């Protein structure tokens, strides 16, 4: 079966459940933000497992479902559990949900993540508006036969992070008095954290943050003309900056510490976008 037909079947299964409800924003929740999905009003839960052709995580305890409901008065569709390349998914699988959202008529994509902080003048807990990204790994979700129904073969990435939505994010941060950094997110495939040399390379290349998600989704969205906004939470200084090893516990601890602020910012952006 062709990819576009699979995507259409997935979208029509979901719209059959949603009936008249039309989500406007798709929200991908990174580490530490997942419980925002539990705060939606009048939620509808759809397990990935039940959606035809949807990738399904086999990791025990991994929440894999869409939660559709109202957040700040807006109908949103949250992914509780995203697909990472390091888990072994193909790029097509990583972006499968994003393409499905597009076919559902959702045109705004809100990506969040936990990231390592490359910028030495920042600190763990800082939030960063993603203004651009760098991908050096060869894999790309748009590689292979172009899906013409989704977008053109060659497509622009100069506004992959929508300028208007960036302004919405800036205004939201200002209103809430949340300091919001801005910078460039660089993708590494993971699952290992970067080496200190890779982090120095990232800094020289112009990156402020490194992480293992978000970029494939932003590329798929740009291909389809969806408008993307992205926020990273600097959960740790990237490797080699401090004289200490990195670990996943630190990532989770920082995520937990800034969760309230992060969630407030996400809510305000959703409200005003």
Residues that bind ligand HPA (CB under 6 A): 114-116, 188, 193-194, 210-212, 235-236, 238, 246, 251
Minimum CB separation of residue 87 from ligand HPA in Å reads 14
In the complex with ligand HPA, which residue's Cβ is closer, 141 or 211?
211
- Establish whether 186 is a catalytic residue: no
Minimum CB separation of residue 120 from ligand HPA in Å reads 14
- Establish whether 53 is a catalytic residue: no
Question: Cα 125 to the chain's mean position, in Å?
Answer: 18
- Establish whether 253 is a catalytic residue: no
Minimum CB separation of residue 178 from ligand HPA in Å reads 20
- Establish whether 102 is a catalytic residue: no
In the complex with ligand HPA, which residue's Cβ is closer, 67 or 246?
246
In the complex with ligand HPA, which residue's Cβ is closer, 215 or 246?
246
In the complex with ligand HPA, which residue's Cβ is closer, 93 or 235?
235
- Establish whether 87 is a catalytic residue: yes
- Establish whether 86 is a catalytic residue: yes
Active-site hit among 26, 37, 91, 114 = 114
Active-site hit among 72, 87, 250, 261 = 87
- Establish whether 146 is a catalytic residue: no
Active-site hit among 11, 212, 234, 238 = 212
Give catalytic residue positions. Answer: 31, 62, 84, 86-87, 114, 212-213, 236, 248
């Amino acid at each position: 079966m062709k990819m576009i037909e699979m995507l259409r079947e997935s979208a029509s299964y979901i719209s059959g459940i949603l009936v008249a409800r039309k989500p406007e924003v798709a929200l991908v929740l990174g580490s530490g933000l997942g419980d925002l999905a539990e705060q939606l009003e009048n939620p509808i839960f759809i397990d990935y497992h039940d959606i035809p052709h949807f990738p399904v995580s086999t990791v025990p305890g991994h929440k894999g479902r869409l939660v559709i409901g109202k957040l700040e008065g807006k109908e949103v569709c949250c992914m509780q559990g995203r697909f990472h390349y390091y888990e072994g998914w193909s790029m097509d699988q990583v972006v499968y949900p994003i393409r499905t959202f597009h076919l559902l008529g959702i045109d705004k994509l809100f990506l969040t993540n936990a990231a390592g902080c490359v910028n030495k003048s920042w600190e763990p807990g800082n939030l960063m508006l993603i203004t651009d990204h760098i991908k050096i790994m060869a894999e790309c979700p748009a590689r292979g036969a172009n899906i013409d129904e989704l977008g053109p073969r060659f497509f622009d990435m100069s506004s992959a992070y929508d300028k208007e939505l960036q302004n919405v994010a800036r205004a939201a941060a200002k209103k809430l008095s949340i300091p919001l950094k801005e910078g460039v997110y660089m993708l590494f495939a993971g699952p290992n954290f970067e080496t200190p040399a890779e982090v120095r390379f990232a800094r020289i290349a112009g990156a402020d943050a490194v992480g293992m998600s978000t970029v494939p989704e932003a590329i798929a969205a740009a291909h389809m003309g969806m408008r993307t906004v992205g926020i990273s939470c600097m959960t740790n200084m990237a490797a080699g900056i401090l004289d200490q090893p990195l670990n996943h516990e630190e990532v989770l601890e920082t995520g937990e510490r800034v969760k309230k602020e992060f969630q407030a910012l996400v809510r305000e952006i959703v409200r005003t976008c």
